Structure 1
């Protein structure tokens, strides 16, 4: 395919799906006050409600991987986006914790293939040396969706209820599904390979898969779990910013995701041409990401409004594992290898997001409902501790 054809028929339709996926995944960070007020949620319930998206997303990964390799990304993405639209409508009608959680899980299941189908399609139609930079553009599209879930959503709530907002987003899911069905090409059929235990073992035992996951998996789960909910709560409880200021700072953070993703892709492509391993670039980014979280642990007070923005910026580096693994695995296994990785990431993100709320809930809130800074310091300290082993192992192996 020519460059313009790849852009309009492959990249744009799948990037729009990824955009919608990030928008719906990050939405609860802004809707949290309305959801807490309507369903009388505790921090643990709010974390559990938001993280059911990750749990359902993870549960869908293995069947999605089989479907992507067998039926192709076009048909799989069309069907699942319709499921996401149904879940979004159900969320608009939810009235209590159970109803909202079930709807949120349905949304997660329906959006489970957005990134993987894009990776599958792009690796089919693009030369390998373009993969890191194009993946950066794809993640930037997701960052744009997350940015839309902040200040633009906050402004939209001045003109409509959050229920009507969800209805419009359900319509967006249907529109993108139709766009993919009508425009996206069908990749050449790969020889069918059942997802047997041997195929699963082949994926997890692949040296590149194993080495990449050990370094990047836990930081990626931390980025997803904290970015989608707890950064906003930290801004409200520790520095004490209002809802408008929080929406603005989250918007800046998502802008950092957009430019950071593009920058990471371009930097990686530049570094690999000069003999650097992609994993070395990722390791440097993970080191900076962990150091930044130590500032949260230490209760750093200077320019607190910049911490969430830099957190989003450095967290972009964790997405590099998709392109590393997609290029290393055999073509017939790229769909299921990526979804195996997604399974691990989103199970971890569920645990991080729900566990963070459990830690915060160990302290009593103030009369205004704010939790003390020490609660967040302890939660971030635990996150740093679980990321250190993988980073230290990689650095020891690298310098040997």
Structure 2
């Protein structure tokens, strides 16, 4: 197919098909960010990693991913969804190759950092695309659907990755994900096109294009709004709690605490991932609206904190397996944070707000994984149950996030008087 023919074909592609193509990159980013839960035992064996080093390995992806969100947001505003993701995503393939070829800890972490940079725009492009191509009242439901479909990437790092590692090696896992990333890049290249003048389906006019420096300065406006801190505080712990369990501690918990095999723990990870695929679409469809949404978010955050606290006390393998799966279902409420952010800022700030929110989410994952690795090492040195310390730390961080979201300044109500921030 010639380039002109491809462009002509792309112009007729439906928004849903383009969104599904973009979601393939998001799905692979989900796979990359959760490999540590399955790769932890073989990596610890080959490199002699401590719990603290394992936390650094897992967290390095999210440090890179989160730190680049503001720049990816600028890239989307200046160059568009398609060009941004096509430019960045090849770094994920390079990072997978670097990690697969690593023979020491430093290049392994370097590979994770490159993968994190490559995956940085993966979900942000989906949320911006949804905001531009779908009606505002459908934002929560369509975002939930995209999250659910993208969560299929978690299935790969359950039983399939565990089987591949047992049959081949952890290096084969990185190579397989790198190859699938190349296929996702091709799908986006051929199926996604950039509208000439992206506008909201709600009729909002296109925003003027800013320079890079002006766009960076504009993020300061968000942090001058008092309600931003509470939103960021909660965002930094909700998804982080799910990813710290599913992406780092689930494998060690089941293998070291309960004696399960790598494939058995992979089966649990697979079950958690399957139910997680339905959680986000479910909560997206039952979104209670702005009047009750914040109460729901706080309530489900407290419920998740209670589940982690109960898991800390080793109530048996059956309880830990069921509680882990329950976390996968309940964590679907995180999708409600997206319409909450969208409603908390004027339309002119939506893109920047989403970038800051996404940055907070993934820097939060990095901090929680690093911190729980530090806690695990300190607990082991003092003869304290490692998983008691780790799970209680996650529970406490969720409680602090919920408290900040509840008690720090709230967004203005829709009928508030006074000029909206520009």
Normalized against structure 1, the TM-score is what? 0.89
Deviation digits for residues 143-175 of structure 1 (CA, Å, limit 9, x no counterpart): 210122111212333554332332232222222
Q: Please show how residues 84-123 of structure 1 align to structure 2 within 5 Å.
A: 84-123=92-131
Instruction: Determine the structure 1 residue equivalent to 2:222.
Output: 203
Q: CA 1:164–1:214 in 2, change beyond 3 Å: closer, same or farther?
A: closer
Query: CA, structure 1 residues 377+161, in 2 after alignment: closer, same or farther (shift >3 Å)?
Result: closer
| Alpha-carbon spacing, 1:79–1:394, altered in 2? closer, same or farther (3 Å) | closer
Of stretches 327-336 and 140-149 in structure 1, the one that deviates more from structure 2 is 327-336
Evaluate the alpha carbon distance shift between residue 333 and residue 193 of structure 1 in structure 2; reply closer, same or farther with a 3 A threshold. farther
Residue from 291, 296, 299 that aligns with 2:306: 291
1:154 to 1:299, Cα distance in 2 relative to 1, 3 A: closer
Q: CA RMSD in A?
A: 2.6
Change (3 A) 1:50 1:215: closer
Alpha-carbon contact 2:236-2:363 (below 8 Å) kept: no
Structure 1: distance between partners of 2:373 and 2:166: 28
Find out whether 1:231 has 2:279 as its counterpart.
no
Task: Give the count of matched residue pairs.
Answer: 388
Alignment match, 1:191: 208
Aligned-partner Cα distance in 2 for 1:64–1:136: 22
> Could you say if the C-alpha distance between residues 235 and 122 of structure 1 is closer, same or farther in structure 2, counting changes exceeding 3 Å?
same
Q: Deviations for 1:244-287, whole angstroms, at most 9, x for unmatched residues?
A: 2111111001112101111111111xx22xx7433232222212
Query: Does the CA contact (< 8 Å) of 2:314 and 2:320 recur in 1?
Result: no
**In 2: Cα distance, 1:6 partner to 1:330 partner:** 24
Matched, 1:6 2:6: no
| Residue aligned with 2:320, SS | coil
**How far apart are residue 211 of structure 1 and its match?**
4.3
Q: 1:243 aligned to 262, 266, 271, which one?
A: 262
1:338-353 correspondence to structure 2 within 5 Å: 338-353=354-369
Please give the alpha-carbon distance, in whole angstroms, between the structure 2 residues aligned to 1:167 and 1:121.
29
Separation in structure 1 between the aligned mates of residue 251 and residue 155 of structure 2, nearest angstrom: 13
Whether the 8 Å contact between 2:40 and 2:251 is mirrored in structure 1 is: no
* 5+ residue gaps, structure 2: 1-9, 199-206, 411-422
8 Å Cα contact 2:301/2:398 also seen in 1: no
Looking at structure 2, the residues matched to 245 and 167 of structure 1 have their Cα atoms a distance apart, in angstroms, of 23
**Separation in 2, partners of 1:310, 1:260:** 10
Is the 8 Å Cα contact of residues 68 and 335 (structure 1) preserved in structure 2? no
Aligned pairs for 1:369-388 within 5 A: 374-388=385-399
Q: Which residue of 2 aligns with 1:368?
A: none
Asked if 1 retains the 8 angstrom alpha-carbon contact of 2:301 and 2:399, the reply is no
**TM-score scaled to structure 2, two decimals?**
0.84
What secondary structure does 2:315 align onto?
Answer: coil
Q: How many angstroms does 1:126 deviate by?
A: 0.3
> Cα distance 1:199–1:176, how it changes in 2: closer, same or farther (>3 A)?
same
2:174 match: 166
User: Corresponding residue for 2:418?
Assistant: none
Deviation at 1:317, TM superposition (A): 1.8
Pick one of 316, 336, 357 that aligns with 2:373: 357
Task: Give the match for residue 73 of structure 1.
Answer: 81
Matching of residue 124 in structure 1 with residue 140 in structure 2 = no
Q: Which moved more, 1:292-301 or 1:191-200?
A: 191-200
CA contact (8 A) 1:84 1:170 kept: yes
Q: Aligned to 2:236, what secondary structure does the other structure show?
A: helix
Q: Distance between the aligned counterparts of 2:68 and 2:13, measured in 1?
A: 33
Match of 1:52 in 2: 60
Task: Summarize deviations over 1:289-331 as a string: whole Å, max 9, x none.
Answer: 1111120233333623212111222223224323332354445
Distance 1:309 1:93 in 2: 34
SS of residue paired to 1:229 = helix
CA contact (8 A) 1:212 1:279 kept: no
Offset at residue 352 of structure 1 (A): 0.9
Distance 1:159 1:298, change over 3 A: closer
- Residue 63 in structure 1 maps to residue 71 in structure 2: yes
CA-CA distance at 1:358 after TM superposition = 1.4
TM superposition shift of 1:340: 1.4
CA distance change for structure 1 residues 395 and 101 in 2, over 3 Å: closer, same or farther? Answer: closer
Moved more, 22-31 or 212-221: 212-221
Give the secondary-structure state (helix, strand or coil) at the position aligned to 1:386. helix
